[in-house]
Chains A and B, each alone.
Chain A
Amino acid sequence: MFGPFRLTNPLSGGLLWKIPWRLSRHQKYRHRNRLRAVDSVVATVDNALAKRGETMKKVVMWKAEMPTEQEMLPKDKYSVFDRKVKRYRKGIHKVPKWTRVSQRLNPPGF
């Protein structure tokens, strides 16, 4: 009755998915806020180190290659590349732990 392999409707076969295929606008709003929170953490760390005349490779690399929330395209904010999905895109809310991981870059051309 309990446990990971219990008989639920999605597991007992068929096409029943309880996760909607797209994000609601409120999910998108909260997701943007989370992206901005990460940006502000990186900016704070960078400023604090710069005041002491120090840099750090991780921060420098992040700033060089990761787009900020404003710079990201809506496509990259709300969906990710997935080679198994038709047209190679799935909603970002299908990523495991998507509210606590950074997923900003996708393969060029997809």
Chain B
Amino acid sequence: MPYFRITLMRSGIGMPQKVQGVLKALGLRKRMTTVYHPVSQSVAGQIMRIKELVDVKEMEHAVTKEQMREARRPDPGYYVERKGLAGDKLA
């Protein structure tokens, strides 16, 4: 099922109430927030209302907030070869 990936690039501050209401309805509260919504006419209509403020891309799958956060996590710089067991030291 295709999804719209909507990112708020420009703030809605000072825009008409209808525009700010659409941002709130889509879950775009701050700049650079990204939300996924299924491709449908109602979402398309909402995007048309805020088209100057957002960046839109069509994606195959939706990504949850946790997955987006995980993708941003930097490389820790090490990897665990083998986990020590609790009883190893004594043996």
Contact = CB atoms under 8 A, between A and B. Distances in A.
A25 interface: no
B2 A62 contact: no
B3 to A, nearest CB: 9
Interface in B48-80: 48, 51-58
A47 B4 CA distance: 11
A59 B48 contact: yes
A16 B55 CA distance: 38
Given A52-B39, A99-B10, A58 B45 contact: yes
Contacts of A56: 41, 44-45, 48
Given A49-B44, A62-B48, A100 B58 contact: no
Contact of B48 (A37, A42, A101): A42
A80 B48 CA distance: 22
- The B contact surface, by secondary structure, is mixed
Contacts, number: 56
A18 interface: no
- The A contact surface, by secondary structure, is helix
A41 B9 CA distance: 12
B51 A100 contact: no
B15 A100 contact: yes
Contacts of B2: 48, 51-52
Contacts of B41: 49, 54, 56
Contacts of A41: 47, 51, 54-56
A79 to B, nearest CB: 19
- Closest 7 pairs (CB-CB, A-B): A48-B58, A41-B51, A48-B39, A58-B48, A41-B56, A44-B56, A45-B44
8 contacts: A38-B51, A41-B51, A41-B55, A44-B4, A45-B44, A51-B39, A54-B41, A56-B48
